[in-house]
Structure 1
């Protein structure tokens, strides 16, 4: 049995990939062991949960920007409806924990942020960046884990955008905004039902939109048969589409479950955007420490009190950083285990420019709007935050504007 498995291993993976797999597994074991020895059990757990998120995104090819693009350009809302189911599942999983944290010692806190002009502008810019770079924040991390060159350009520029937003914090933070408010936390069970009702309305609207746009409906849930969706026959080519529907649904539910584990471990839901400013700051701090050269005046970190503790901690004790690294490594694990073609940088400059500009807008927009498609949309709506709903509307408009411009420029 062991000899058969080793033979299969050698025939399926080339020598270079075998070395990468063994090296990556060894580094992971060393990293987890070191964290445990340091007593950083939460960091080790978040790294593993982050890897689960990255593996899910990669293995099931679950993407926000691609689903929105298909909905807008083709009328295919299958991916968008799977995201609605994901948000509903996360809402129901998060709410009891958030209520417990509210009534107990505050150990569980939702991502509830002010809803104002900075959220509108930031989400709008992020939506444009999503389509220019063909990825969102989680998608860019996933593609970076797949060793794709263009998304790495986007990832680098997201840090540039995050720095610009952090440096101008005192300007945009003063824009008019409503105080942080949550359906779930402020209205309790009634607020949860309102949020679920809004998601149900969006789901129904997406099915109607697809039916009117394409004269058919790709079935995601069995209840959609009552709305005119035709079940796929497993023996036909459409059986692949049914399999794809199941993949999207399973991926959405897994993301909701794994993000609940993050809430349990870290006390706050899954987020990404803050690392776009935190990691460059840490790099600048390291440069100043070792060279004496101050890269920038980081007045942002003196003002934003809710980041001060994170600035003082090492990255391996920062919950958002560990989860983000986990997403990249989880996607990399799937890439190594299921080899995919690695796309090099194209010869032309247009694609590189689009991805660079898209990354810049996403990094800037994520900071302005207190979150990206993960922290603001996913975790924001799952926390019942009003700013999450505002983010969704502005980001969809940004996607539509970007796609309209891209189609005209072809």
Structure 2
């Protein structure tokens, strides 16, 4: 039944409910601003924007990669490249002129990083959600993501706990492209990848859906705002691990035994409010934004899939691996691929190649694990 045909009381009830959702979200952002500062209230609002855009326009990472691999439909993946290019146009000059105030998503390329990205690419296809996708799907009530998310967080904590051991296996110095030459090189490389994807696609699929032409610049604008307000690019993984680290510390776990969590900066972060952690705020905002869209659409009541036991076990294992592997890889589709490339990090490109290769494996695993009727 459409809005134009439903009875007036129902239509009025929807208007009231939707108005309450908007007012509630704004009030929450205002409350955070009052409690811990305007900057943090704005970051929560940016996170809500991420969630609304990702869920509202169905802009994702795992699904488009699957479509590119299985159907040679590149529209969603090209939309990702467009968003990255827009962010790069702003991020490169910002980092060059405000290097003391902002940092890029720069990390070294190493054996653990490459292996972690490959495993992440496979695991995200198993649960059909990357870092941001798992948050979005959880916010909209997806049972698989709701099962995977806590294990994602535990995996992120554990991966960080072991990170320095893994990186000791061998890595290169961090390589970051900068300046005009770095920006031009990044844009050319993004265009080249898009051209290859279009060349491989059937003629009828050589297009980007209209909703994604809208979503890509909106998402890019939010990512640029995140960089300006937070002083760092959009990320996901650290915030999830921090949630578990705070829980572990509260139960008496000695985090000083970890070379990662035991640093002065991270010990301080664990002791502070989550409302002052920029990544946690945007993560919470993503969940909340997706919830708002799902509630707006009356789509919160998703049925529990009738999967076999091995599918649910696979979801738990894949969720943990998403967190663990993304910590070794210095980020997920957001922190490594999206933010890494858009701020000039070589590891973002290597992550993309390794994770995309892993996605082929994950796609083949899904039917074997009982998550699909057929491949």
Structure 1: gaps spanning 5 or more residues: 221-244, 289-293
| Corresponding position of 2:366 | 406
Q: 1:8 to 1:295 in 2, by over 3 A?
A: farther
Within a 5 Å distance, the mapping from 1:50-61 to structure 2 comes to 50-61=47-58
| Corresponding position of 2:294 | 335
| Corresponding position of 2:249 | 285
Which is greater in Rg?
Answer: 1
| Corresponding position of 1:117 | 111
Within a 5 Å distance, the mapping from 1:2-401 to structure 2 comes to 8=8, 10-11=10-11, 18=17, 22=20, 28-102=25-99, 106-184=100-178, 188-210=179-201, 214=202, 216-220=204-208, 245-286=209-250, 288=251, 294-295=252-253, 299-300=257-258, 301-304=260-263, 307-340=266-299, 342-347=301-306, 348-401=308-361
Checking the alignment, whether the CA contact within 8 Å between 2:255 and 2:261 is kept in structure 1 is no
Please state whether the residue corresponding to 1:38 is helix, strand or coil. helix
Checking the alignment, whether the CA contact within 8 Å between 2:156 and 2:241 is kept in structure 1 is yes
Relative to the length of structure 1, the TM-score reads: 0.82
Aligned residues: 364
Checking the alignment, whether the CA contact within 8 Å between 2:152 and 2:319 is kept in structure 1 is yes
Relative to the length of structure 2, the TM-score reads: 0.90
Checking the alignment, whether the CA contact within 8 Å between 2:110 and 2:167 is kept in structure 1 is no
RMSD of aligned Cα (Å): 2.5
- Measured in 2, the distance between the counterparts of 1:196 and 1:146 equals 34
- Residues 244-298 of structure 1: per-residue CA shift (max 9 Å, x gap): x111121111111100000110100100011232101111223x3xxxxx24655
Q: 1:305 to 1:285 in 2, by over 3 A?
A: closer
Greater mean alpha carbon deviation, residues 310-319 or residues 379-388: 310-319
Checking the alignment, whether the CA contact within 8 Å between 1:134 and 1:355 is kept in structure 2 is no
Checking the alignment, whether the CA contact within 8 Å between 1:100 and 1:108 is kept in structure 2 is no
Q: Structure 1: which 4+ aligned runs deviate by more than 4 Å?
A: 12-15, 24-27, 295-298, 301-306, 407-410
Checking the alignment, whether the CA contact within 8 Å between 2:256 and 2:262 is kept in structure 1 is no
